[in-house]
């Protein structure tokens, strides 16, 4: 199963909040600037379409663009190859910095070749500073990728385009206090006609006040707002657009740096999400997240996290859920050339909405257990090899949502310069 992702809106807002929350922590050195890289990855997936063992495979036209073409059966297991070319550069203009990055992915499947696609992502970020107290960031990002079949319950190819525009400003009131604001817009577009109802247009905003102590602790309070519209969704029998929703939330954050090796981060608050045209799917309650970042040795670190959050997968933003879970992510680098990383997570997902084709079923509840192990070997600074293994198991009160899957991959990456 692919990584569980928060909604695009949560990713943007939490990223800004985390940056301010950790303003008191010692800054880590930035990675070396990379201008051009090439990578190639071979992946084996034993359950590409995320189906249960007892679910039958589908048949499709041999040529998906020609419905009259003789049918063929889709392959449950498959290999895929991902060739990636990435470019990037930082432009320093006095106190201002412009960062430009882009990647192009060419993905080819061995058996289910009708899924072949070209995708990628790119970003433009402008970090600005005026006088000594004002600073901020303007950014635009774009991504195109194949959606997760665990959400589509089918075998049809669907590519999703995601675009984000974000602006933030921070005003420092002396060496300890600061006020910041963030606003932006996010859009998602599906190229499959049947999924256009999930196309999203969302506007979000955030205002925060933060304080950093002389002993590398910090705390802050913030207000968040999010307005989500689904412009291509069909209205119900009463003419209401029941997928649209609004969210308001107030949260507090606290970072405690116990030692140079240990840091605690806690955030929590209250969130209200309402659908103006539909009482179903409303949520009002507490959310929280706690993290322990522990680095007992220079070559070993681990991150332990627990949370209760309102989440959604970014290709089905209208199908959101309350997530209660925890994760553990240790990393070990015995030498400069070797890196071992493990990530394990468990989630209880209590969905608050029913999709149109599932209205006659009970409220969905899933338990998701996943793990990822990676081993990276860098014989040279510009060359890296990686082995990876991912396992995921989803249990649900809906039979068609249950599955388990394993993926394994090997990749090589060359940083040209």
The candidate with the shortest Cα–Cα distance to 269, out of 284, 244, 290, 287, is: 287
Spatial distance between the Cα atoms of 302 and 390, rounded to a whole number of angstroms = 19
Tokens encoding 9: 């809106």
| Beta-bridge partners for 117 | 107
Tokens encoding 122: 């790119």
Residue 373 CB-half CA count within 13 A: 4
Spatial distance between the Cα atoms of 247 and 276, rounded to a whole number of angstroms = 11
CB count within 10 Å of CB 356 equals: 11
28-70: pLDDT as tens digits: 455 567 899 999 999 999 999 998 877 766 666 655 556 666 7
Identify the structural domains of the chain with CATH numbers, from first to last: 8-311 (2.40.160)
- pLDDT for residue 12: 41
- pLDDT for residue 363: 85
Question: Considering the entire predicted model, what is its pTM?
Answer: 0.87
In the predicted model, residues of the chain with pLDDT beneath 50 are 1-28
Spatial distance between the Cα atoms of 89 and 105, rounded to a whole number of angstroms = 19
């Amino acid at each position: 199963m692919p990584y569980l992702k928060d909604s695009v809106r949560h990713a943007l807002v939490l990223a800004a909040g985390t940056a301010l929350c950790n303003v008191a922590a010692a800054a880590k050195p930035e990675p070396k600037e990379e201008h051009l890289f090439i990578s190639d990855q071979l992946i084996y997936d034993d359950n590409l379409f995320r189906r249960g063992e007892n679910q039958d495979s589908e048949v499709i036209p041999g040529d998906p663009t020609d419905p009259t073409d003789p049918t063929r059966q889709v392959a449950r297991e498959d290999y895929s190859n991902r060739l990636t070319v990435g470019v990037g550069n930082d432009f320093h203009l006095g106190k201002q910095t412009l960062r430009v990055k882009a990647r192009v992915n060419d993905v080819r499947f061995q058996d289910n070749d009708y899924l072949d696609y070209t995708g990628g992502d790119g970003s433009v970020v402008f970090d600005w500073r005026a006088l000594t107290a004002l600073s901020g960031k303007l950014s635009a990002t774009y991504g195109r990728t194949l959606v997760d079949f665990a959400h589509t319950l089918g075998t049809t190819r669907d590519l999703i385009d995601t675009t984000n525009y974000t602006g933030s400003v921070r005003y420092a009131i002396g060496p300890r206090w600061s006020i910041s604001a963030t606003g932006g817009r996010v859009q998602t577009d599906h190229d499959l006609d049947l999924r256009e109802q999930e196309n999203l247009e969302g506007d979000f905003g955030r205002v925060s006040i933060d304080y950093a102590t002389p002993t590398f602790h910090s705390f802050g309070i913030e207000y968040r707002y999010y307005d989500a519209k689904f412009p291509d969704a069909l209205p119900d029998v009463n003419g209401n657009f029941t997928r649209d929703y609004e969210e308001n939330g107030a949260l507090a954050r606290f970072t405690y740096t116990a030692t140079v090796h240990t840091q605690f981060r806690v955030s929590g608050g209250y969130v209200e999400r309402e659908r103006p045209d539909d009482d179903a799917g409303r949520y009002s309650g507490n959310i929280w997240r706690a993290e322990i970042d522990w680095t007992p040795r220079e070559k070993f670190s681990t991150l332990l996290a627990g949370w209760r959050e309102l989440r959604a997968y970014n290709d089905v933003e209208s199908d959101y859920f309350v997530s209660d879970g925890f994760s553990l992510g240790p990393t070990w680098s015995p030498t400069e050339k070797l890196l071992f990383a493990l990530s394990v997570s468990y989630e209880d997902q209590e969905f608050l909405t029913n999709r149109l084709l599932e209205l006659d079923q009970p409220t969905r509840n899933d338990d998701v257990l996943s793990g990822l192990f990676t081993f990276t070997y860098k014989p040279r600074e510009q060359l890296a090899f990686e082995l990876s293994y991912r396992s995921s198991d989803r249990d649900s009160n809906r039979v068609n949502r249950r599955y388990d899957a394993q993926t394994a991959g090997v990749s090589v990456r060359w940083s040209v310069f």
